[in-house]
Structure formats: structure tokens, C-alpha cells
Structure 1
Amino acid sequence: MVNFIRAASLLALVPFISAAPTTADALEVRAETELFSFEKWAEDIMANPGGNHLSPDEAVALAFNQTSNDEHTIQKRASCNIVAGSPASAADAVWCIDFIAARANVKCEAAVSGTSFCRRGLAQITGVSGGFNPPRSTSTLCGNVARSAGAIMDQCTRNGQVYGTTAAWGNGNLAVHIRHP
């Protein structure tokens, strides 16, 4: 009798099991809900520089059509405090990220007074050393600067403008800034 009840219970579950989504279905749903990320875009360029990547203009268009600008989203590391007159053009900043990411394995060195890694139109990506002992400069790979600038774009872009700062990947003593030149 107990075996009959177990068998009947298992047979009752068959319609539910067959109606459950497959792994491929779950992956499709996940891919549809994944938002575009400038940080991920920069990482992809660094991983495969000659690959088929979105152009800076395509990346901006996709991000602005897809990414939520909800100000209540969780902020990981970037500080987005906008100083009057300092927001940069998001499109120009994305061009700079592409430029810097293409030089992923080159050293980007920053001085205490600040070093411009890229300037285009109404955007500039700079690095500032937080070192207090000589030689008063610090560096990281330019790929880390691009990834950090991508994180700023993801967290601090509003209405086609961006302003923010974050510690560089790979070296917390180097602050990466996106701002108006």
C-alpha cells in the first residue's frame, strides 16, 4: 500500500516536471534581463581587442535605451557627487573608455596633481595618485582604468552626462575621475 501511494505521488508530479522550463529557457530569460554595462563592455574589449565589439556610439545608444536611471540602485564603489559645471558628455567619455581599453596592457601612471589618460570633446578621464610618500605617483594597467571608468559610467550617468570618481581596479591608491575638461 505504501509503495502504491509513493508511485501515485510520483505520477502526479509528471505534468509539473514536464512543464518546468529547461536550462536553455532559463538562460534566455536571464540574457533578456541582463542590462548593458560599460564596465563589462570595457572588460570584453580588453579580453579580445580585435573582437567584434560595439562601437562607442553603439554602446551609448544601447546603454541609454536599456539601463535604468533609477537613483535608488545600489552603488558599488563610485562617488557621483556632481560639482557645478563639471559633468562630462557621456558619449565622449565612452569614446575615451574605448581608447583606454584598447591599451589594456599598457601602464597608466598618475601623479598627485592628476594625469589625463584621455580627453575628447566634453569629457576627460584622469587619474590622481593618493600616495603621500615619494615618488608621489602610482600606476595600474590602463585596462584597470578603463574598467573603473566603465563602473563610473554604469553608476553615475544621468541625462547624457556623467561625473564621478572611483578607486582604480588593481590599485586603490589611484583614483579614476570622469569629468568635464
Structure 2
Amino acid sequence: EDYEQIYVHCQVRERFTPSWGPDAKLCIEELASRGQEACRATKQETVLCRKGNTVITSQVIGNSEDTVTSCGNVAASAGRIMDKCYHQDNTVVGFAIAMGTYAFRLDIRPE
């Protein structure tokens, strides 16, 4: 069952280097193509996709146990980051809680 997106946060560009937006879009498309395949979040940050200088990573929040949601949910959640945090200079940096879970943080950031 899918839960609504509960949080999207855009990082402050002066403090966090942004990623190249077109690379983030390629990652989102790759994750979306994996559909119902499981994307996992653990206490260790995990790279789910890497394109150019951009990575989409997952990590569980706080003391949560390892958790899983569909890669399609991760792609949809990453799309929400793009919607909220994309800049006119084609850069993006932010994080969200993935749909389908309350403990799965995903980040779009430079490698």
C-alpha cells in the first residue's frame, strides 16, 4: 500500500552543492523502469543510481530497521524533489521520505 508523500526538503544551495538536473532525471527514469523491484534503505547510505556527478541514495531514518519500498515509489518520490527543488540553472539538491514507508530517506545530491 502506498502512503502519501510526507516530506520534501530542498537543501540550501549556498551550503550544499547541487546536482546536475538532467542526470537526476536519468536516474529517476532508471528507477521508474525497475517498477515493483525492491529498493532498500539501511543504516548505511546506499547509492540506488549514479549518473554523471549525480547520485540518488537511500538510508533509513533514526533507529528504524532496514526498510524496503518499490523502486517505482522511490522514482515518484524523487520526482517530487525535482518538482519542488529544481532551479532554472538545471540544478537540484534535496531529500524526501519515500512513498510507501515512513523511514526511507532518499537524497538527490552530487557524488
**Given that residues 32 and 75 in structure 2 are in contact (C-alpha distance below 8 angstroms), is that contact kept between their aligned partners in structure 1?**
yes
Aligned CA RMSD, in angstroms, stands at 1.6
Give structure 1 stretches of 5+ with no counterpart. Answer: 1-75
Structure richer in strand, relative to its length: 2
What letter corresponds to residue 141 of structure 1 in structure 2?
S
Give structure 2 stretches of 5+ with no counterpart. Answer: 1-5
Q: CA distance change for structure 1 residues 86 and 113 in 2, over 3 Å: closer, same or farther?
A: farther
**Given that residues 149 and 178 in structure 1 are in contact (C-alpha distance below 8 angstroms), is that contact kept between their aligned partners in structure 2?**
yes
Structure richer in helix, relative to its length: 1
Q: CA distance change for structure 1 residues 95 and 160 in 2, over 3 Å: closer, same or farther?
A: same
Identity percentage over the alignment?
36
Partner of 2:96: 166
What TM-score do you get using the length of structure 2 for normalisation?
A: 0.86
CA–CA separation in structure 2 for the residues paired with 1:82 and 1:145: 22
CA–CA separation in structure 1 for the residues paired with 2:101 and 2:16: 29
**Higher gyration radius (CA):** 1
Partner of 2:31: 100
Q: Say whether residues 1:156 and 2:67 are aligned partners.
A: no
What TM-score do you get using the length of structure 1 for normalisation?
A: 0.54
CA–CA separation in structure 1 for the residues paired with 2:12 and 2:71: 25
Moved beyond 6 Å, runs of 4+ = none
What letter corresponds to residue 113 of structure 1 in structure 2?
Q
